[in-house]
């Protein structure tokens, strides 16, 4: 878990909204229909940061439900603040480790889509092994994604993009939606962040990978 100092607004949003939108990892298996009070396609985002893009996605797609996982409590507070401000009600959030949430809380084949945008690149070579996108992890994700569902990754580190492509291509459980070895154009469903806009002006690249779960 990552600690961090919350602003007064983030703490207030957390205190006021966690009970209705927060999910407790210790509660065990998640009943999606009970959590959202309806049955709908579900997208899981791992590591949503401050949550601006997640709120934007949920607001623009009200027929879909979203689960966010983030270990940084100020980010969770900011997400809850934005949800209240924007009157977005189709997100539920865990403030917990994603691997444990997947193992203990999410049923197999429960998710329509999983997205991991700009995970920590651990850019020093000796730290590459700490990267989230590894064979065992994408296999764990495949268990949770329904057949025909998507895994969508994005990074602004070319070396990490290459590793992502290598890991997913090697897995028999996924098929590249864009064709063998090809990166995907950014879909409209992934908002362009201010960080990306600044990077584009500076000539920095961003790589999207969208793979379909096949088995």
Domain ranges in the chain? 8-213
Tokens of 69: 């996982």
**pLDDT per position as a tens digit, 56-114:** 999 999 999 999 999 999 999 999 999 999 999 999 999 999 999 999 999 999 999 99
User: What's the rounded Cα separation, in Å, for the pair 121 and 128?
Assistant: 8
Q: Report pLDDT for 131.
A: 96
Q: Which of 116, 138, 106, 100 is nearest to 49 (CA)?
A: 116
Work out the percent of the chain whose per-residue pLDDT is above 70.
98
Whole-model pTM? 0.94
CATH class name, domain 8-213: alpha beta
Q: What share of the chain is helix, strand, coil (3-state, %, to 5)?
A: 40, 20, 35
Q: Kindly indicate the confidence band of residue 3, based on its pLDDT and cuts at 50, 70 and 90.
A: low
Strands 174-176, 207-213: parallel, antiparallel or unpaired by DSSP?
antiparallel
Alpha helices by DSSP H, the chain: 8-21, 32-36, 52-60, 73-86, 98-105, 135-144, 158-170, 194-201
In this prediction, residue 148 has a pLDDT band, given cuts at 50, 70 and 90, of: very high
Tokens of 124: 């020093």
Q: Would you name the residues annotated as active-site residues?
A: 120
Mean pLDDT of the chain: 94
| Predicted local distance difference test score (pLDDT) of residue 1 | 46
Residue 197 binned pLDDT confidence (cut-offs 50, 70, 90): confident
Task: Report whether pLDDT(188) > 50.
Answer: yes
């Amino acid at each position: 878990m990552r600690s961090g100092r919350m602003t007064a607004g983030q703490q207030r949003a957390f205190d006021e909204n966690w009970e209705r939108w927060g999910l407790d990892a210790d509660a065990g298996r998640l009943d999606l229909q009970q959590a959202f009070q309806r049955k709908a396609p579900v997208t899981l985002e791992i590591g949503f940061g401050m949550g601006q893009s997640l709120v934007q996605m949920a607001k623009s797609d009200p027929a879909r439900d979203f689960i966010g996982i983030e270990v940084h409590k100020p980010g969770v507070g900011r997400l809850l603040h934005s949800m209240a401000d924007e009157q977005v009600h189709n997100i539920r959030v865990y403030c917990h480790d994603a691997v444990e949430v997947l193992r203990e809380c999410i049923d197999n084949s429960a998710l329509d889509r999983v997205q991991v945008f700009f995970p920590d690149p651990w850019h020093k070579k000796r730290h590459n092994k700490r990267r989230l996108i590894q064979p065992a992890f994408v296999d764990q994700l495949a268990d949770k994604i329904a057949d025909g569902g998507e895994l969508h990754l994005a990074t602004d580190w070319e070396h990490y993009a290459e590793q992502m492509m290598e890991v997913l291509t090697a897995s028999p459980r996924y098929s590249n939606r864009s064709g063998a070895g090809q990166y995907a154009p950014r879909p409209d469903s992934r908002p362009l962040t201010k960080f990306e806009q600044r990077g584009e002006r500076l000539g920095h690249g961003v790589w999207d990978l969208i793979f379909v779960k096949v088995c």
